[in-house]
Amino acid sequence: MTIAELFSAGSTDWLRVNPKLRTYWHTLIALTTVPLLIVAAIVIAISEGVPVVRFIGIASIIAIMIFAIWAWVLVTRRVRSIGYRLESRELKVSSGIMFRRVVSVPFARMQLVEVSAGPLERAFSLASVQLHTASASTDATIPGLDPERAAEIRDALASHSATAGL
């Protein structure tokens, strides 16, 4: 039994995020890796006669590739690890493969609900919902939601916090 299942008192019906999040994260990895590789390639190209620089360039290409492939492979499991539950009095979010975490935020402690969608997220028609409390370490973010679903969650949270009475 995973921690997440234990924490939600045995039930396993956590809500999952949109699988499109995988493609989004893959695109993100590609978009950050390619420019780095280009920079490293340019360094190698202009390094004629200076073996140290050339070595550094090749080493960084290898490092970048290993890092990118590692992240690429893990994306599927990362997406699958994200779950959330809107319960009667609190929101629970669970995530992580190696370092697992479950956070539970009572509606009464919410200070702000934020729906955000960056340009690339919008291109995939995805949005994230983030919950803020008075604590900086709360960190309850649900990425990879359909914009409509994100708005639904936001409205639900907002109505709950109104009735909970801060």
Partner 1 sequence: MSDNFSRPQHTAPLTPILQLVNSAPIVLVAFFAIGLSWWFLLIGVIFLVVGGFGYWASWQRRFFWLNEEGELEARSGILFRRSRQLRISRLQSVDILRPPVARLLGYSSLKIEVAGSGDSRVILSYLSVGKAQELRSEILALAKDERTSTQSAEPADHWKWQVPNGRLVASLVLTTSTYFLIIGAVASVAFALVEPGSGLVTLALAVGGSTISLIAGITSLFNFSVGRNDRGIAISHGLFTTAHYTVSPIRIQAICVVQPIAWRPFGWYQVAINVAGADQSSKKSGPRVLIPVVHEDALPELFHELLPSWNLEIEDEWLASTTTSRWRFPWQAARLAVSLTSDLFVVRSGALTRRLSAAPHERIQSIRITQGPWERKLGISSLHADSVPGPVRLRGRGLASSVAVHTALAELDRMFTARKSRKSEQW
Residues in touch with partner 1 (CB under 8 A): 3, 6-7, 9, 89-90, 98-106, 108-109, 133-140
CB of 4 to partner 1, least distance (A): 9
Of the candidates 110, 146, 116, 111, the one whose C-alpha atom is nearest the C-alpha of residue 128 is 116
CB of 128 to partner 1, least distance (A): 18
Q: Indicate the residue among 135 and 159 with the shorter CB distance to partner 1.
A: 135
CB of 1 to partner 1, least distance (A): 9
Beta bridge partners of 140: 131
In angstroms, rounded to a whole number, what is the distance separating the alpha carbons of residues 13 and 16? 9
CB of 109 to partner 1, least distance (A): 5
Q: Indicate the residue among 79 and 131 with the shorter CB distance to partner 1.
A: 131
Of the candidates 111, 102, 108, the one whose C-alpha atom is nearest the C-alpha of residue 130 is 111
Q: Indicate the residue among 48 and 88 with the shorter CB distance to partner 1.
A: 88
Q: Indicate the residue among 52 and 166 with the shorter CB distance to partner 1.
A: 166
| Long-range Cβ contact pairs of 62-66 (< 8 A, separation 24 or more) | 64/33, 64/36, 64/37, 64/40, 65/33, 65/37
Report the run of H or E that residue 49 belongs to, with start and end: none
